[in-house]
Amino acid sequence: MKKKIAAFANGWSDEYLIEALKGVKKSAEEKDADVYLFINYSSADKQDENVQGEVNILNLANLEDYDGVLLFGNTLNNAGELPILSEKIRKLDKPAVCLEYEVDGIDCVCTDNYSGMYELVDHLITEHDVRKIAWVSGISGNKENEERHRAVTECMKKHGLPDDSKYTLQGDWSFYVVQDKLGKWLQQYGLPDAFVCANDVMAMGVMAYLINNGYNLPKDVIVTGFDNLKSTGTFVPALTTVERKWTERSYDAFSHLIDLIDGSPKAGVQSFPSYLLARESCGCRISDEMKREQMSSINKVYTVPIECKLFDWHLSGLDEATTGQFTLEDIHDGLEKFFKDGIAQYEGDTFCICLDEGFVDSIYETG
């Protein structure tokens, strides 16, 4: 019988989650397991009522119905989600693995946040003569954020540079928060040698603001990130960042969870190294392959709107196939004809179409 795994995360469209789910999918296929994904959208800037509604999504899963639990731990810190879930797991003594965040009593597969960030800052100082560093911070108190910041300050101290905490921009992991605050910050503190950002999303926010306001990167100022999101390699200039191998870590975490379910002993914390990827935003060169990816990304500025229009036409075709039908049989026939005439390029080879019960009742009442 297939194992049932409940996975919990925050933020469906987050680029990190997209990459991490690739590793989960690969391992689940190999292990013949089903994954049920529960996602909330709480964030630091939402009102309490909205946050509570998002947190309630966690209660949709009855953990007793699942063989194990996978937590995307570094996404579950916006509204106290992680303590809620970890307490449920402990009460049921359910096999569980937390990805990228240490939780007492639960095995963890994570990245060493310190080593890669230290290597990055050391590179900026020794190779690019950086002296004045502005730290763009994630959410205060977050373990990943604190470890990365510790690496920055300790590397600066090693090279005899002052740790000036006033050069901190509170970005809260957000592209938009950084965009909103950066102009006023620059008026107050001026341009540093480098913005060292706690994640790639904020780094791209910094870069976008600076470029839109006439700055030349990296000639005027260096910007770096952390995470190696796919989009950072196609950004112009390509972002210098820290690799943490999202897909591989999520694959490892899911595979370990299946091992726990099968009776393997707990392993505690499994930590994997991170490392520097030096690119254009600090003044280094990039490979020819990455240059081709940049060009492909630029081309998508034109192709993505066309793809969106094609998707709109596809949805319109679905509407036309079901409009004016008064029985489920008629709806079935209309959809069958639509997919025979066209291509299920979005749905795939096998899929289900769910109809609201009230809609079905209204069909027969109308008929």
pLDDT of residue 313: 76
Half-sphere exposure of 88 (CA within 13 A, CB side): 19
Whether the predicted pLDDT of 232 surpasses 60: yes
Written out in words, the top-level CATH class of the domain with range 3-111+246-272 is: alpha beta
Dig out the tokens for 217 from the structure.
């990167």
pLDDT of residue 98: 97
CATH annotation of 113-244+276-287: 3.40.50.2300
Same fold, 3-111+246-272 and 113-244+276-287: yes
Least confident of 44-58, 157-171, 252-266, 334-348: 44-58
pLDDT of residue 79: 67
CA distance 187 to 233: 30
Least confident of 4-13, 21-30, 128-137, 274-283: 4-13
CB 182 within 8 A of CB 208: no
Whether the predicted pLDDT of 12 surpasses 60: no
pLDDT of residue 142: 86
pLDDT band, very low/low/confident/very high, at 60 (cuts 50, 70, 90): confident
CA nearest neighbour of 168 among 198, 143, 142: 198
Least confident of 97-101, 227-231, 279-283, 309-313: 309-313
- Can you give the residue ranges of every domain in the chain? 3-111+246-272, 113-244+276-287, 294-366
Dig out the tokens for 22 from the structure.
């690739």
CA distance 4 to 28: 10
Model's pTM, two decimal places? 0.78
Mean pLDDT score, 175-190 = 96
The string of pLDDT tens digits covering residues 305-329 is: 677 777 777 777 777 777 777 778 8
pLDDT band, very low/low/confident/very high, at 18 (cuts 50, 70, 90): confident
Q: What percent of the chain has pLDDT over 70?
A: 88
